[in-house]
Structure 1
Amino acid sequence: MFIQVFQGPCSRQEEMHALLDEWRRDLAPSAHGWLGGTYGFTDDGQLVGVVRFESREAAAANSGRPEQDAWAARMNALMDGPMEFHDCDDVTLLFDGGSDEAGFVQVIRGKVDDPARLKAMMADTDALHEARPDILGATLAIEEDGTFTETVAFTSEADARKGEQVPPPEDVQRELAYAMQSATFYDLRRPWFESA
């Protein structure tokens, strides 16, 4: 799997939501290898999108289409400033990835010097599922320099906040402290999802 993350300031949220829905309706059917996406706006007006493709090649083929170029120009025109893009070939799924049933999504961006350590933490799914039943699934996308984007799908924000109050085991606390030392959290309180 390949993940592309994009984000940037956008105050024209209804128009942007409609444009992303238009992409799903009109362009997705011919975007070979597109698997789906998670989208939303933070409280301070950041648009965040996490888009999944079968491979980097499929994503590049989609970007090279003339109709995609025309659509992207319309998207840029709705932004209040430049967009950031992050391309990730190294993708780990937690509980089969995200969930289109989520009521709340947190996108966490950070950087680690040992990506294998971060991925090992995601592999202990039994303990995590028992401790945090509010987590429906997640994706962990890592760039070559150790920058990561974790997208966590929760049943609801209330459940997520309640789950945060339960201290994890000491070894898990240690690993979380390592992973989140430089992290920024983007809360998507009204996320929406698209799937192939």
Structure 2
Amino acid sequence: MFIQTIEGRCTRHDELRAVLDRWPEELAPGADGWLGGTYGFTDDDLFIAVVRFEDRASAMRNSERPEQGAWAEQMMAAFDGPVEFHDSDDVTLLFDGGSDDAGFVQVIRGKVDDPERLRRLIASDPAELRRMRPEIIGATLAMEPDGTFTETVAFTDEASARGGEGQEPPADVRADFEYAMQGAVFHDLRNPWFSSP
């Protein structure tokens, strides 16, 4: 899987949303390998999109389409300033990845010097995690070559997510989690929306 994360400041939510809502209908039919996307605004007007493709080649072919270029120009015009793009084909899934049924999404950006340790944490005993945190529907972890990561966690709803945060994980899991999240930034998407083929 390949993931591209897009983030930028946007105070014109409706304008950007209108451009984004056109993509599944007008451009998705010609985007081979597109798997879906998760979108939302934080309370302080940071827009985040996490877009999934089967592989990097599919994503690059999509980017090269003239109609994609024209649409991207309209999207960029809706932002208040610069936009960041982060690409990764080093992707680990928790459960089945994300879910279009999520009522709350948290996007976590950070950096680690031991990516394998973070991958192991995401891929560790799913049965135990399901028992302890039933509100977690799934997640994707996208690693960049320098150890920068974007983890996108789908929850049933925010209240359940906040309740789950108070649970104490096993000591070994807690140590790995604290390592991974040191210096990480958490972005809350309280009203996420989704698109999929």
- Under a length normalisation based on structure 1, what TM-score does the superposition of the two structures give? 0.99
CA–CA separation in structure 1 for the residues paired with 2:128 and 2:173? 10
Identify the residue that residue 92 of structure 2 maps to in structure 1.
92
AA aligned opposite 1:163: G
Task: State how far apart, in whole Å, the 1-side matches of 2:77 and 2:149 are.
Answer: 28
Q: CA deviation at 1:4?
A: 0.3
**Distance apart, 1:122 and its partner CA:** 1.1
Q: Kindly indicate whether residue 182 of structure 2 is the aligned counterpart of residue 151 of structure 1.
A: no
Distance in structure 1 (CA, Å) of the matches to 2:25 and 2:17: 12
Q: CA deviation at 1:189?
A: 0.1
Give me the whole-angstrom Cα distance separating, in 2, the residues matched to 1:91 and 1:175: 18
What is the DSSP-based 3-state SS (H/G/I as helix, E as strand, rest coil) of the residue aligned with 1:19?
helix
Who is 2:165 aligned against? 164
Q: Does 1:194 align with 2:195?
A: yes
- Partner of 1:19 in structure 2? 19
Q: Secondary structure at the match of 2:49?
A: strand
Q: How does 1:61-140 map to 2 (within 5 A)?
A: 61-124=61-124, 125-140=126-141
Helix, strand or coil at the partner of 1:116: helix
Q: Secondary structure at the match of 1:43?
A: coil
Aligned to 2:37: 37
Mark the runs of 5 or more structure 1 residues left unpaired by the alignment: none
Structure 1 position 153, deviation (Å): 0.1
What is the RMSD computed on CA atoms of the aligned residues?
0.6
> Counterpart of 1:151 in 2: which secondary structure?
strand
Residues in 1 aligned to 2:128 and 2:113: alpha-carbon distance in whole angstroms: 25
Corresponding residue for residue 48 of structure 2: 48
| C-alpha distance in 1 between matches for 2:36 and 2:81 | 25
Per-residue deviation, 1:96: 0.8
Residue aligned with 2:183, SS? coil
Q: Under a length normalisation based on structure 2, what TM-score does the superposition of the two structures give?
A: 0.98
- Percent identity between the aligned chains? 64
Find the counterpart in structure 2 of residue 8 from structure 1: 8
Report the AA paired with residue 192 of structure 2: P
2:54 and 2:170 mapped to 1: Cα distance? 35
Alignment of 1:167-186 (within 5 A): 167-186=168-187
Separation in 1, partners of 2:6, 2:42: 13
Q: Deviations over 1:1-50 (max 9, x none)?
A: 00000000001101111111101110011111110000000000001000
